[in-house]
Amino acid sequence: MDILEILMHPQNLDLAYFCLLGVLGSCLISFLPALHIYNVIGIFLLVILKYENAMEAMQLVALSTGMIVGYSILNTVPATYFGPGDESLSYYVLPSAQWVALGRGYESVILTGIGALTGMIVLALCAPIFIWILPGLKTITSPHMFWILGAVIAYMILSEWPKGIAQSKSNWANFFEGWGFLSVGIITFILSSLLGFIVMSKTMVPLGFAFQSITPVFVGLFALPWLITNIINVGIIPPQHEAKSLDLEWEVISKATFGGFLGGFYAAFIPIVTAGIGGLMAGHATAQRDTRVFIMSYGACKTVYYVGSFLLFFIPGLSLTRGGLAWIVTPFVTSLTLKEYAIFVGLMLFSTGVSFLLLTPFTKMCIRLVEIIDYHLLSVIAFFIVVPAVYAYTGGGGLAIMTVATGIGLLPVLFQARRMNLMAVLLFPVTVSMAGYGDTVLRFLGLL
Amino acid sequence: MKGLTHFISGIAVATFFPQAVHMASQEQSFIFCLGGIFGILPDTLDFKFARYFHTSDFEIKPDPDNLDAHQIASIVAQSLEKANASGRSSVQLHTMQLGANLWRSYTLGFDSKTSEVVVDIGPLVDTGQTPFMGTEPKEKASARVKVNCRFFQEFDKKSNIAIMSGPCFEFIRRGEGNVEIVFLPWHRTWSHSATLGILIALVVGVISYFTVPEGLHADMYAIPRWLLYPLIIFFGSLVHIIEDSTGFMGNNLFYPFTADRTKGLGFMSAAEAVPNFFFVWTSIICMLYNLDRFRWAPELTPAGIPNPESFFFWFYALPCAVMLYLFLRGKNQKEARKSVKAEGNESDFDGPTSVEKETDASII
């Protein structure tokens, strides 16, 4: 009842207003082509923080909650039709692109939305349990985080299987064909790791925008290769069918929610691990086979990852800061009690409901846009927005990093390797640094 | 089982060594990853190496411009009859790639009740195996070819041959006029043997004996540090073999002393969700418990699991009970479907173990 009292108290209704504002803002942000969520929110908050004196800490939290929940649910729409902005999205886009090609893009988006909705409900239900279990989990895993990340890297590399049709008479020719694909993945991993070490040791962007130093890397690795592919793609988006209803069994919903929640929570709890990696591992752990389950579980995974990492910040006594948004609000939130945690969970559910209601009109609007304007043209426009934006915020240095990153990002796209290997840009340098070998590697590379 | 299941089980096995836990937390050692890497190694060896060096007696490369189901079925039947005559034979089926993202699919089944090889040519599919409806061929799309021997196999399932590389079958004569069908004959043989695990552990043991110095507080441990490496490698690969043995395909445990794969225990199918998750969850619980009970300086650092009994009840016994319920429910549903088919005298091409016949290597 205490929680209800807190939520229904007129004093707290302003939080609902800011939360709603955040969700509506996320609609706009979701449409900004091919940019990583935290970079966009970072810039957005820079503008908002001019009104810092007029806003209380919890109002900022409400605004951020609305934005992160709205973004994590609504960004599926432009990602499906125009291309993904980060690794977490690119994991989903490949299967969803197949549905778009079959005229079922709308269905795919709604399935993802249902997954996000159920994922958030489970996250809210687990919120009280987290207070009980997470301190113990943190105590156990904290000294071991570096090798857990090392294990993630090892699995990412080892679990990529050879492709190719193996129809040559020569066994060796078949072997080299299969390993050609694997080699691209391994080369992508190595190059991304090197880029990560360079970016982390040598700041090439203006100091005033140091918080955006990773932006050109992500734009280059994930966003631009996708836009370039869209531009040179000869295919067309077929007419999209707007399904009136969805045929979903409870078994599919529960399987997808369970797998997605597992992956999202794993990604939220373990630093650097994204929803794409978490989703892959949870998908393997629960042996997912059905495409519907995959798409829905992706919705749950991505939302639980983005929002869950923010939720961890509010658990009283846990002191766990995960994800860019938690770091952004850290200076403004000084006390964290059960009250703030309960308010956050309430705001999270409120934003989820609003975002889900917005999903259908948002998707229909996107479909109209694709019907009216050629998506090649949209991709060209997006390209010419992104590149100058990166230059404006990060200067010539940022542009140089972006160009190199684009070259690396194109490798898996052109040679059908896993795009997940690009995440080595953060995974490998951070793992090595956490294990205490960072300086040794930097010295070896001549960067220190 | 899925690669992740083997990988995480290998890590879990490594956490049973207190010295390894201390090496990880106090010396930033990645020793646990060794367990994971060798846990997944048997499948890595098969799908990244062994498959490329297996040669078959017959190869089927269907012509996409002249589709003929009968022709495909006849070659498979020929291979079966050769095995019946000479003891062994194998056939490799290839896919039909029509474009960068376009393939022609077909299925192959073995109807043991009528001793017929069954081939159906299916629709065009994309690389995600999404079919393009209405693209099925109108003529010569289905064929049944009778063979002059009986045959049997562990799985009654049509193999769907659509994308990437196709499957391989080996036929082995077992008694007069009776042929066993072995799916993916290059899989789970030498790579999935205890012999290989022992051999690698021996080699690593010799190297580590001469190169790994004893660590600090050596008197705390029963096992010398150099021995940790071969033991983690051996148990990591052994747990893979044990997990695979719970399925249907089995392993060749003592290659080269044993010639063929032995049957699995048949408790569960390798690609089923619940068994995979059961092993993953068991591994996670073991890892957390071991990392906590073997933590460095337990008298100075608080326990993450203050009450192990309650931990095991809430986080292991209870989830296991739910998993058992779901597993048995799924099994009963499949049995019910199977009995309906049996009553109709149909071949059970969708048996409970069917998933093991995927041509997609990543799911096996």
CB contact under 8 A, A284 and B277: no
Q: What is the pLDDT of residues B74-98, one digit of tens each?
A: 999 999 999 999 999 999 999 999 9
CB contact under 8 A, A136 and B61: no
Bond into A361 cis (ω within 30): no
CB pairs under 8 A between A and B: 137
CB contact under 8 A, A161 and B272: no
CB contact under 8 A, B53 and A94: no
CB contact under 8 A, A159 and B277: no
Q: What is the pLDDT of residues A70-95, one digit of tens each?
A: 999 998 888 877 766 555 655 556 66
Least confidently predicted of A233-247, A414-428, B12-26, B247-261: A233-247
Residues of A in contact with B271 (CB under 8 A): 287, 289
Q: Angle formed by the axes of helices B273-293 and B18-27, to 10°?
A: 70
DSSP assignment, residue B151? Answer: E
CB contact under 8 A, A151 and B277: no
* Average pLDDT, rounded, for chain A: 86
Residue A108 one-letter amino acid = S
Residues of B in contact with A171 (CB under 8 A): 52-53, 55
The residue written with tokens 């049957």 in the block is B263
Average pLDDT over residues A42-68: 78
CB contact under 8 A, B2 and A143: no
> What is the CA B225 to chain-centroid distance, rounded?
32
Residues of B in contact with A164 (CB under 8 A): 164-165
pLDDT given for residue B22 in this prediction: 96
Under 8 Å between Cβ of A113 and A77:
no
pLDDT given for residue B82 in this prediction: 96
Quick check: B358 pLDDT over 60? no
Choose the mutation target among A94, A98, A129, A140 for the interface with B, i.e. most B CBs under 10 Å.
A140
CB contact under 8 A, B48 and A102: no
pLDDT given for residue A83 in this prediction: 64
Structure tokens at B314: 């809430």
Q: Give CA–CA dist A399/A432, Å, rounded.
A: 27
Q: How far is A227 from chain B (nearest CA, A)?
A: 19
Q: How many C-beta atoms surround the C-beta of residue B133 within 10 A? A: 9
Residue of B nearest to A177 (CA): B52
Say which of B44, B128, B272 has its CB closest to residue A158.
B44
Mapped onto helix, strand or coil, the DSSP state of residue B152 is strand
pTM: 0.90
Residues of B in contact with A233 (CB under 8 A): none
Average pLDDT over residues A367-374: 82
Residues listed for chain A: 448
pLDDT given for residue B353 in this prediction: 36
Say which of B28, B304, B363 has its CB closest to residue A139.
B304
Q: How far is B177 from chain A (nearest CA, A)?
A: 32
Quick check: A123 pLDDT over 90? yes
Q: Give CA–CA dist A152/A272, Å, rounded.
A: 10
Q: What is the pLDDT of residues B226-238, one digit of tens each?
A: 999 999 999 999 9
Q: What is the pLDDT of residues A174-198, one digit of tens each?
A: 999 999 989 999 999 999 999 999 9
Q: Integer distance in angstroms from the first to the last C-alpha of chain B?
A: 6
Say which of B33, B164, B291 has its CB closest to residue A140.
B291
Pick the residue with more confidence: B361 or A47? Answer: A47
CB contact under 8 A, A161 and B97: no
Average pLDDT over residues B254-263: 88
Q: Give CA–CA dist B68/B340, Å, rounded.
A: 32
Using CA atoms, how far residue B324 sits from A262, A276, A439, B283, B329, in Å, is 19, 29, 49, 17, 8
Under 8 Å between Cβ of A263 and A281:
yes
CB contact under 8 A, B273 and A291: no
Residues of A in contact with B25 (CB under 8 A): 143-144
CB contact under 8 A, B52 and A175: yes
**φ, ψ (nearest 5 deg) of residue B104:** -100, 125
Q: Give CA–CA dist A369/A246, Å, rounded.
A: 23
pLDDT given for residue A45 in this prediction: 67
Closest Cα to residue A221, out of A429, A386, A422, A40?
A422
Q: What is the pLDDT of residues B285-338, one digit of tens each?
A: 999 999 999 999 999 989 999 999 999 999 999 999 999 999 999 888 888 887
Residue of B nearest to A415 (CA): B100
pLDDT given for residue A36 in this prediction: 63
Residues of A in contact with B130 (CB under 8 A): 98, 101-102, 291
A207 bridge partner residues: none
Tell me, what's the ipTM?
A: 0.90
* Average pLDDT, rounded, for chain B: 89
Average pLDDT over residues A428-433: 96
